[in-house]
Protein backbone atom coordinates (compact mmCIF):
# COMPACT_ATOMS: atom_id res chain seq x y z
CA UNK A 1 0.00 0.00 0.00
CA UNK A 2 2.82 2.38 0.92
CA UNK A 3 4.54 1.64 -2.38
CA UNK A 4 1.33 2.41 -4.31
CA UNK A 5 0.93 5.77 -2.58
CA UNK A 6 4.53 6.64 -3.39
CA UNK A 7 3.99 5.81 -7.06
CA UNK A 8 0.84 7.95 -7.15
CA UNK A 9 2.68 10.87 -5.55
CA UNK A 10 5.47 10.62 -8.12
CA UNK A 11 2.92 10.52 -10.96
CA UNK A 12 1.11 13.61 -9.64
CA UNK A 13 4.37 15.51 -9.23
CA UNK A 14 5.41 14.50 -12.73
CA UNK A 15 2.15 15.77 -14.21
CA UNK A 16 2.38 19.06 -12.35
CA UNK A 17 5.72 19.75 -14.00
CA UNK A 18 4.48 19.11 -17.56
CA UNK A 19 4.53 22.03 -19.96
CA UNK A 20 2.66 21.86 -23.25
CA UNK A 21 3.58 24.27 -26.05
CA UNK A 22 1.30 25.21 -28.94
CA UNK A 23 1.77 27.49 -31.96
CA UNK A 24 0.19 30.95 -31.78
CA UNK A 25 -0.61 33.51 -34.45
CA UNK A 26 -1.82 37.03 -33.75
CA UNK A 27 -3.11 39.19 -36.59
CA UNK A 28 -2.81 42.92 -35.94
CA UNK A 29 -3.55 46.09 -37.92
CA UNK A 30 -3.10 45.92 -41.71
CA UNK A 31 -3.09 42.09 -41.37
CA UNK A 32 0.33 42.15 -39.70
CA UNK A 33 1.00 38.58 -38.55
CA UNK A 34 2.83 37.84 -35.32
CA UNK A 35 3.97 34.25 -34.74
CA UNK A 36 5.09 32.48 -31.60
CA UNK A 37 4.08 29.97 -28.98
CA UNK A 38 1.83 29.52 -25.98
CA UNK A 39 3.00 27.33 -23.13
CA UNK A 40 0.48 25.88 -20.69
CA UNK A 41 1.41 24.36 -17.35
CA UNK A 42 -0.78 21.90 -15.48
CA UNK A 43 -3.08 23.77 -13.04
CA UNK A 44 -1.08 27.01 -13.31
CA UNK A 45 -2.21 28.57 -16.58
CA UNK A 46 0.48 29.68 -18.95
CA UNK A 47 1.95 32.38 -21.14
CA UNK A 48 2.36 33.28 -24.78
CA UNK A 49 4.86 35.28 -26.77
CA UNK A 50 4.74 36.34 -30.41
CA UNK A 51 6.77 38.60 -32.69
CA UNK A 52 6.75 39.91 -36.22
CA UNK A 53 10.45 40.69 -36.54
CA UNK A 54 10.18 44.28 -35.31
CA UNK A 55 7.73 44.09 -32.43
CA UNK A 56 6.97 41.42 -29.85
CA UNK A 57 3.98 40.89 -27.57
CA UNK A 58 3.40 38.63 -24.60
CA UNK A 59 0.82 37.74 -22.00
CA UNK A 60 0.16 35.42 -19.07
CA UNK A 61 -3.12 33.66 -18.26
CA UNK A 62 -4.66 31.56 -15.50
CA UNK A 63 -6.31 28.18 -16.19
CA UNK A 64 -9.65 28.21 -18.00
CA UNK A 65 -12.73 27.63 -15.88
CA UNK A 66 -15.74 25.57 -16.87
CA UNK A 67 -16.55 28.23 -19.47
CA UNK A 68 -13.38 27.36 -21.43
CA UNK A 69 -12.59 31.07 -21.69
CA UNK A 70 -9.51 32.93 -20.49
CA UNK A 71 -8.83 36.65 -20.22
CA UNK A 72 -5.26 37.93 -20.16
CA UNK A 73 -3.27 41.18 -20.25
CA UNK A 74 -1.04 41.76 -23.29
CA UNK A 75 2.10 43.91 -23.40
CA UNK A 76 4.08 44.71 -26.55
CA UNK A 77 7.65 45.93 -26.95
CA UNK A 78 6.42 49.06 -28.78
CA UNK A 79 4.56 50.15 -25.62
CA UNK A 80 1.11 49.02 -26.72
CA UNK A 81 -1.00 47.19 -24.14
CA UNK A 82 -4.31 45.42 -24.30
CA UNK A 83 -6.60 42.73 -22.96
CA UNK A 84 -7.14 39.43 -24.72
CA UNK A 85 -9.99 36.97 -24.48
CA UNK A 86 -9.72 33.47 -25.91
CA UNK A 87 -11.95 30.42 -25.92
CA UNK A 88 -10.71 26.84 -25.99
CA UNK A 89 -12.43 24.98 -28.85
CA UNK A 90 -10.49 21.87 -27.82
CA UNK A 91 -7.96 21.45 -24.99
CA UNK A 92 -5.20 22.33 -27.48
CA UNK A 93 -6.76 24.87 -29.85
CA UNK A 94 -8.93 27.94 -29.96
CA UNK A 95 -8.86 31.64 -30.48
CA UNK A 96 -10.25 35.00 -29.66
CA UNK A 97 -9.50 38.68 -29.73
CA UNK A 98 -7.12 41.18 -28.21
CA UNK A 99 -8.40 44.73 -27.78
CA UNK A 100 -5.48 47.13 -27.57
CA UNK A 101 -5.49 50.39 -25.64
CA UNK A 102 -5.64 52.31 -28.94
CA UNK A 103 -8.95 50.57 -29.76
CA UNK A 104 -7.62 48.22 -32.43
CA UNK A 105 -8.84 44.62 -32.39
CA UNK A 106 -6.33 41.86 -33.05
CA UNK A 107 -7.15 38.20 -33.77
CA UNK A 108 -5.57 35.58 -31.49
CA UNK A 109 -5.30 31.96 -32.72
CA UNK A 110 -3.62 29.07 -30.91
CA UNK A 111 -3.15 25.43 -31.82
CA UNK A 112 -3.03 23.95 -35.32
CA UNK A 113 -5.13 26.78 -36.76
CA UNK A 114 -2.26 29.18 -36.04
CA UNK A 115 -0.10 27.33 -38.56
CA UNK A 116 -2.53 28.18 -41.38
CA UNK A 117 -2.35 31.95 -40.81
Question: What would the pLDDT profile of 67-77 be if each residue is shown by its tens digit?
Answer: 788 999 999 99
Any bridge partners for residue 103, and if so which?
none
Each residue's pLDDT tens digit, 23-63 = 999 999 999 999 999 998 877 789 999 999 999 999 999 87
**pLDDT for 16 beyond 90:** no
CA atoms within 13 A of residue 14's CA, in its CB half-sphere:
6
Instruction: Report the C-alpha gap between 90 and 114 in whole angstroms.
Output: 14
pLDDT-derived band at 91, boundaries 50, 70, 90: confident
What is the pLDDT at residue 26? 98
pTM beyond cutoff 0.85 = no
CATH number of 19-116: 2.40.128
Among 14, 13, 19, smallest CA distance to 42 is for 19
Amino acid sequence: MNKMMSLCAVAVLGLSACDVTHPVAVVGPANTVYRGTATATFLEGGWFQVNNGGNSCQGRYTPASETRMVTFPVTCSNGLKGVGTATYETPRAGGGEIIMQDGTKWRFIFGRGALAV
